Amino acid sequence: MSVLEGIMVEMSIVLGSANVPIRQVLQMSRGAMIPLESSQDDPSLVYVNDELVAKGVVLVDGEVMSLEITELVKKQRH
């Protein structure tokens, strides 16, 4: 086993985003719908430790959701 295999990283999959007024957030209840600023054809974004690393497509098979990576994102130079 490699030393790297035991290192934990935070991974986030972002389906979309929305700008919502705080008053709307405070009024939300179970079942509230939040429209996202993306379409079903837009790729989902994969972040590792808050850095964009890939784009992909969400796949649903019954109760199981997964993400197919379609593009690796090159690291931005600062």
pLDDT exceeds cutoff 70 at 78: no
In a domain, 29, yes or no: no
Over the stretch 43-71, which tens digit does the pLDDT of each residue have?
999 999 999 999 999 999 999 999 999 99
Separation of first and last alpha carbons in the chain: 34
In a domain, 70, yes or no: yes
Q: What is the mean pLDDT of the chain?
A: 92
CATH of the domain at 3: 2.30.330.10
Residue 51 bridge partners (DSSP): 48
In a domain, 10, yes or no: yes
CA–CA distance, 63 with 73 (Å, rounded to integer): 29
Nearest Cα residue to 48 out of 13, 16, 5:
13
Residue ranges making up the domain that contains 75: 1-19+36-78
CA–CA distance, 70 with 17 (Å, rounded to integer): 20
Number of domains in the chain: 1
pLDDT exceeds cutoff 90 at 3: no
In a domain, 30, yes or no: no
- Which pLDDT score is estimated for 75? 82
Nearest Cα residue to 68 out of 53, 58, 77:
58
